[in-house]
Structure 1
Amino acid sequence: MFGRVKPLDAILATAEKKSLHRSLGPIQLMLLGIGCIIGTGIFVLTAAGAQKAGPGLMIAFAVAGLVCIVAALCYAEIAAMVPVAGSAYTYSYATMGEFLAWTVGWALIMEYAIAAAAVSVGWSGYFTGTILNEFLGVALPPWLAGGPLALGGVEGGLINFPALFIALLVTGLLIIGTSESAKVNAVLVAIKVAALTTFLVLTLPEVELERFNPFLPAGVFGGFGSGVGAVGAAATMFFAYVGFDAVSTAAEETRDPQRNVPIGLIGSLLFCTVFYILVAAGAIGAIGGQPIGPDGFITGGQAPFPAGSAELARQCALPEFSAALVCSDEALAHVLRQIGFSGVGNMLGIAAFVALPSVILVLLFGQTRIFFVMSRDGLLPEVLSKVHPKWRTPYVVTAITGCVVAVAAAFFPVGQLADISNAGTLYAFMMVAVSVMLLRRRDPSRARKFRVPALWLIGPLTIGGCVFLFLNLPFEAMIMLPAWTAIGIVVYLVYGRQRSHLGRGIVEVHEPEYADLEPDIPGVEDRGRP
């Protein structure tokens, strides 16, 4: 089980036979990374992060950003050296064997699907608050605005219909083959960056230092499984960064990947880290961001209500808390309205409304990409990668994924979805760091245009940072990963192990139909044969 290690040369040979057109440069990769990173995390989860940490949200962004930076360095080395599809799954297959690679791929399936659901819920907040309430003067009935679960955060909620709708709409677009061109992707990135820049210009002059006191109302560590405090918020806000790993999935379509993939990964991450810390400072400094607990705003020594909980929803329904940052479903637009810039706040809401579906599309694409590679290795049924004769897209797996995403978006709150997604992401990032260290020891002579500096330090820091953040997730999110993994192990033992191409002696796998019929990646004009 642990001995099936796929030869790295076979993986690279398979990628070369696919003959995909390499058209992406470093700037396009950075735009792809920034386009996926800047999304629900900053536009929506700012409120959830403030509820967990208050002004300590700034530290949370820094901690999460630090873990992502060391992880990005590991991603940069291995993605440039192994520029093939599959991301952490493929890297694990070439270093730790089929079984552990399966667990990574299985975790990535959960990550991308749950993350897409979280972004769908985030989009729903801006659609309901900005488009319906502010522009059309329509108040969506509570039973259509949020899910009914205990952590639903909406009193009287039955289903989050806008989130369900956008998830199914994007799924339909992927099935019929509609994707963004490189120019459209660049425009959407420009819209999001311009919106956040405008937010900073308007909020930073309104900052008052007393709003940052107490700076750590819930402390630094909230305790194992609590998900609160600055570190608990960092575990949640980690979701705001994870888009950078999507850059590695485009390695096969990149010119000079040894140079451009590291630039795209690290450049997009550093750009967004600085932005996030400044946005957190502007939001909290302008209107305050203290969390709410049993006795009202937390001033220290108490545990805040869980973000997205029914208890918090009841408090936020009271007049004295209705304007609080932590009670908003559209945090940044809400801040601008509170400081007298309602029109600009509405424009920011429109920017989020327009741009967030592109993030859902990229995430759904990434999920189907993982399915494709696992199916190509024989670990999942090939019917999942069946290509539509007219639209030339993997419509079966896309439809299944889209329905699962839509159901999750309809009934779960954004904060809870983000935490669950983070659990799978942290596991995948940890395994990438292990893969880099193993390849350095086993194959030191292989060409590496980018090498992680001081890998003896960066590698363990990445592993330790991922474990550290995982242990500071809410317990409900932590338990999801082993539960999902247990299901995956059963699937592997019942199906994948017997049908594995590598297990049957088929080392190099090439399916001619995949070369021409894989779905377009958003932001890439041409992925067919040159």
Structure 2
Amino acid sequence: MIFDRVKPLDAILAVAEKKSLKRTLGPIQLMLFGIGCIIGTGIFVLTSVGAQKAGPGLMLAFAIAGAVCIVAALCYAEIAAMIPVAGSAYTYSYATVGEFLAWTVGWALIMEYAIAAAAVSVGWSGYFAGTILNEFLGVHLPQALAHGPLILGGEEGGVINLPAALIALLVTGLLILGTSESAKVNAVLVAIKVTALTAFIALTLTSPEFSADRFNPFLPAGLFGVWGTGTGAVGAAATMFFAYVGFDAVSTAAEETKDPQRNVPIGLIGSLLFCTVFYILVAAGAIGTIGGQPIMSGGLPVEAGSVELARQCALPQYSQALVCSDEALAHVLREIGFSGVGNMLGVAAFLALPSVILVLLFGQTRIFFVMSRDGLLPPLLSRVHPRFKTPHVVTAITGSLVAIGAAFFPVGQLADISNAGTLYAFLMVAVAVMMLRRTDPARKRSFRVPALWLIGPLTIAGCIFLFVNLPTNAMLFLPIWGVLGLFVYFLYSRRNSLLGRGIVEVHEDDYADLEPPIPGTHDA
């Protein structure tokens, strides 16, 4: 049977106890890591995408996505504190629902990390071209080199997003050389991003340009929009979910955390609540000052990232619209007379987003390591460079694919596809928590999900709800990727699995010399 291999939880925890990683992170540091990974492309860039899908209903979209994340975070808090090991949802699934389903989760996470890194690269490109090149250096990057063909179309001027591809390759090179991100550097970047967003909120909400009339109509595309288009407040929530998913970064830092049973739940839920309030206020400030009504066609919002939207945005009446901006928040501040502050916000995004790409790519190597350690992926993928002591093979492969995705796809489409994999992983975490309550009720749980009988099913239902409200292409990508993963599993992984060969406890001597992992593996 394919569901017969369940890894003993005691063996997983025994591996964690023998790891060489130092437990140095406290609750405040964890919260900073969570905030640092959450605040990124999602709010700096996807604000314009969300407004095109839902208009002022973007504020409701943030609330809907945040509500799903809150229940998911509670499930993550219990299991991450209970099983403080690398691998996140993959490892949790291996200990509860078995190897086959754990493989599907790990396979989905591999896709999610790579596509999320590509999305962040595209988001960084917009601020680089708009703020650094145009505003500071007076250089206007040609459209052919600033956008991929799937956002503007060849005849419309888009050929390749060169800055996005280059930043992905640059970060890949740094990872191969052994660059790591310290907690102090991360804290500085978090401070930069939070300060920039705080300034944005203060300037927009107190601006004379702010008007409640700009929120009318509040739901121009309706609450649900049209199924398969990803429009309406719910469709926008499915996209803006990308702006939240960094909270599970804290769970992957559990192995470096002092007293994880106490500090991991604080870091998870604290960072999520902090960012939720921020997002709603940012959306209110942006829409209330310059408006956020979507460009409509036939009674529906024009598809975000489409050729048609690019053509509409080229028209004089829409050229300065929020929904047409590649650097939404900086654009808003320039429009209301704060060009200097807007440029500083653009610089903040320019400085902070590459570190997000770094932790995403690094996080993917951790998933590869854990799966390779279990025998489910070839040892070649975790081969360590003799000089740099980094997994150069898998890093180079991953970085190259990320650069290709960043070069040719728009940020909205990338975010939607990444969300599909993330939602599946979160769903499986909720399943794992509920199963462990039944199969291992006596194990110590310093944090218990209140009313799990309600929170667990709500998490599963919320993930499914957001998934089915993604655009059709994003929904289809996950099962297609999953089918490819099944071929890999049955042709290679199942017969090479160490657990399948009776090897239960696996040690990590093969990569004991690697640099310590960067706490945090997500950003939005």
- Is TM more than 0.5 here? yes
2:372 aligns with one of 375, 380, 394 = 375
Partner of 2:468: 471
Q: Is the 8 A contact 1:72 1:265 kept in 2?
A: yes
Displacement after TM superposition at 1:522 (Å): 5.3
- Distance in 2 between the 1:304 and 1:372 partners? 43
- Distance in 2 between the 1:162 and 1:517 partners? 30
Q: Does 1:425 align with 2:422?
A: yes
Q: Does 1:92 align with 2:93?
A: yes
Q: Secondary structure at the residue paired with 1:10? A: helix
Displacement after TM superposition at 1:291 (Å): 0.1
- Distance in 2 between the 1:145 and 1:522 partners? 32
> Matches of residues 130-169 of structure 1 in structure 2 within 5 Å?
130-149=131-150, 155-169=156-170
Closer, same or farther: CA 276–454 of 1 in aligned 2, 3 Å: same
Identity %: 81
- Distance in 1 between the 2:281 and 2:367 partners? 34
Displacement after TM superposition at 1:153 (Å): 9.9
Partner of 1:58: 59
Partner of 1:244: 247
> Matches of residues 60-459 of structure 1 in structure 2 within 5 Å?
60-149=61-150, 155-206=156-207, 207-294=210-297, 302-459=299-456
Partner of 1:528: none
Deviates more, 1:389-398 or 1:59-68: 389-398
Q: Is the 8 A contact 1:394 1:518 kept in 2?
A: no
Q: Does 1:502 align with 2:499?
A: yes
Q: Is the 8 A contact 1:145 1:154 kept in 2?
A: no
Displacement after TM superposition at 1:192 (Å): 0.1
Q: Secondary structure at the residue paired with 1:383? A: helix
Q: Is the 8 A contact 1:392 1:519 kept in 2?
A: no
Q: Is the 8 A contact 1:146 1:154 kept in 2?
A: no
Partner of 2:490: 493
Q: Does 1:520 align with 2:517?
A: yes
- TM-score, length of structure 1 as denominator length: 0.96
- Distance in 2 between the 1:89 and 1:184 partners? 28
Deviates more, 1:382-391 or 1:49-58: 382-391
- Distance in 1 between the 2:123 and 2:359 partners? 15
Q: Secondary structure at the residue paired with 2:18? A: helix
CA deviation profile, 1:41-65 (whole Å, cap 9, x unmatched)? 0000000000000000000000000
Displacement after TM superposition at 1:457 (Å): 0.5
CA deviation profile, 1:309-347 (whole Å, cap 9, x unmatched)? 110000000011001000000000000000001111001
Q: How many residues align?
A: 518
Displacement after TM superposition at 1:523 (Å): 7.8
Displacement after TM superposition at 1:511 (Å): 3.0
Q: Which runs of 5+ in 2 are unaligned?
A: none
- Distance in 2 between the 1:371 and 1:253 partners? 19
- Distance in 2 between the 1:278 and 1:381 partners? 47
Q: Is the 8 A contact 1:50 1:57 kept in 2?
A: yes
- Distance in 2 between the 1:69 and 1:522 partners? 21
Q: Secondary structure at the residue paired with 1:446? A: coil
Displacement after TM superposition at 1:180 (Å): 1.8
One-letter amino acid matched to 1:390: R
Closer, same or farther: CA 182–146 of 1 in aligned 2, 3 Å: same
CA deviation profile, 1:398-446 (whole Å, cap 9, x unmatched)? 1111001000000000000000000000000000000000000110000
- Distance in 1 between the 2:17 and 2:396 partners? 29
Displacement after TM superposition at 1:223 (Å): 2.9
- Distance in 1 between the 2:162 and 2:445 partners? 48
One-letter amino acid matched to 1:293: M
Deviates more, 1:146-155 or 1:224-233: 146-155
One-letter amino acid matched to 2:406: A
- TM-score, length of structure 2 as denominator length: 0.97
Q: Secondary structure at the residue paired with 1:516? A: coil
CA deviation profile, 1:140-166 (whole Å, cap 9, x unmatched)? 111111111267699221110000010
Displacement after TM superposition at 1:19 (Å): 2.9
Displacement after TM superposition at 1:182 (Å): 1.3
Displacement after TM superposition at 1:181 (Å): 1.5
- Distance in 1 between the 2:72 and 2:475 partners? 20
**Root mean square deviation of aligned Cα:** 1.3
- Distance in 1 between the 2:508 and 2:57 partners? 51
Q: Is the 8 A contact 2:143 2:157 kept in 1?
A: yes
One-letter amino acid matched to 2:349: A
One-letter amino acid matched to 2:238: A
Displacement after TM superposition at 1:506 (Å): 0.3
